[in-house]
Structure 1
Amino acid sequence: MTALPGIEDLTVLRVDVAEGVATVTIDRAPVNAQNGVFREEIVRVFDVLHGSDAVRAIVLTGAGKTFSAGADLKDRPDASRPGAFPRHSRAVRAGFDCVMECSKPVIAAVNGAAIGAGCVLALVCDIILVADDAFMSMTEVDVGLAGGVAHVLRHFGQSDARMFLLTARRLSGTELVRMNVASGCFPKADLLPAAQAMAREIAGKVPLAVEAAKRAFTLNEYMPLREGYVYEQTQTALLAKTEDTQEALAAFAQKRKPVFKGR
């Protein structure tokens, strides 16, 4: 295991690093609900992982039977206090943005219920894997709230997105795979090993190329086809000059395992 400076004093998250893979576990009993402490810690953790040379891929999962049951309703802002909601909303966005903006690919290993903000947390990851007894649901309409539409639309088709949000139905792991929201459904005992194996596979690729590909995915959501492809080509041209790309090409030609330096 590799210790990372800056994240030694966590209370609701656990971080384990091995073989270039960081496994981040939400551990806030009983249901891994998200509060102010969670948001502060996840931002701090993902900022450190973003800049760590020891980490090349990340797995995000939950402790116990739940991935995350969503926002802690006891931690809601006081609507009578001016400025309370903008501050709260910024903190909520930061808790999701730090995952999306992390330079390293993030695999969600959804081990159980992912509800509301817990569902959004899974949806901001790059790859989603689910346990066969897990489910996602957006229950905002049940409790008089609204939110999550933008993130749901990134993964669901239009009709499915509306069905999901307007009915607050639970979608099982097999349904999520059928809808192309998740990339795999596994028995619960096999989920984390499968996610970590995939993360190790990613960690074995050229690090700068993986980071460039993640940036391209993020930017291309908002670009026309031609501009998006031009951006990717500029990244390829820049990567061609790096030591790691030259090492990858040499290793391929020499039929050996490459040794990357991250530059």
Structure 2
Amino acid sequence: MSTRPGLEDLTVFRIEVAEGVATVFMDRAPVNAQNGVFREEVMRVFDVLHDSDEVRAIVLTGAGKTFSAGADLRDRPDVTKRGAYPRHSRAVRGGFDCVMECAKPVIAAVNGAAIGAGCVLALVCDVVLVAEDAFMAMTEVDVGLAGGVKHVLRHFGQSDARMFLMTARRLHGPDLYRMNVASGCYPKAELLPAAQAMAREIAGKVPLAVEAAKRAFTLNEYMPLHEGYVYEQTQTAALAKTEDTKEALAAFAEKRKPVFKGR
């Protein structure tokens, strides 16, 4: 997969593909800190996977002991240069938006520290799974910066979000599971297999229907109930005409495993 067009020269990411699942490893030692190269590559990776028919679900995790320790503070924009911050901020958003906009569901397997931008990168995934000894932290208040509130509020309750951001506390796997931020909490050795098993489960569903569900989650987040449900119904009507939906219904009736073609 790493040799396919657009991904030949990756330096801080590794990709493995099996059974319809792409496992994406952030691999920038020692702590997978995010710099300009990291952001450029994460956008390329998720854009290519977006268009890869053989990939139906994605697992994102960190190589080594860390998920991602956040932004590389050695790569901050020069405040004396005009336009440096808008350009930097646009790149940072792009590194998160590519995950949210990827048509394929993305499962974060948080294997270690997920701090600042690393925490946000986990939170923009569709499903969050954590290791028992992993933790999330938003440390911006410790270093005089700000950011991440909106993404945190998508997963945390109001009081927990404020506590999390204003104290910069570390919240470990069991805490994140208790707060409903994570859908599962596992011993570290079991985390990646569990994430890949869930991804394979998703990959076995009707591909266009899964993509429609992800699209609906993204759009419906800010829609009123009525408009959101109307949108979903238009998706159902469109899916009903596709070959894969007809195959899924036929396979169900015939008690056999469906064969999907992505159309």
Classify the TM-score, shorter chain: over 0.9
**2:31 aligns to what?**
31
**2:95 aligns to what?**
95
Structure 1 residues 73-222: aligned runs within 5 Å? 73-222=73-222
Partners of 2:103 and 2:3 in 1: how far apart?
19
SS in 2 for 1:247: helix
* Deviations 1:186-221, CA, capped at 9 Å, x for gaps: 000000000000000000000000000000000110
**2:6 aligns to what?**
6
Cα 1:85–1:2 shift into 2, 3 Å: closer
Partners of 1:17 and 1:37 in 2: how far apart?
23
Measure how far apart 1:9 and its partner are: 1.0
Partners of 1:46 and 1:2 in 2: how far apart?
12
Structure 1 residues 57-76: aligned runs within 5 Å? 57-76=57-76
Q: Are the aligned partners of 1:3 and 1:17 in contact in 2 as well (CA < 8 Å)? A: no
Partners of 1:230 and 1:122 in 2: how far apart?
30
Scaled by the length of structure 1, what TM-score is found? 0.99
Aligned residue pairs total 263
CA RMSD of aligned residues (A): 0.9
Structure 2 portions without partners, runs of 5+: none
**2:261 aligns to what?**
261
Moved over 2 A (4+): 1-5
Q: Are 1:42 and 2:42 counterparts? A: yes
Partners of 1:54 and 1:85 in 2: how far apart?
38
SS in 1 for 2:61: strand
Structure 1 portions without partners, runs of 5+: none
Identity of aligned residues (%): 86
Partners of 2:95 and 2:231 in 1: how far apart?
28
Measure how far apart 1:124 and its partner are: 0.2
SS in 2 for 1:14: strand
Q: Are the aligned partners of 1:130 and 1:182 in contact in 2 as well (CA < 8 Å)? A: yes
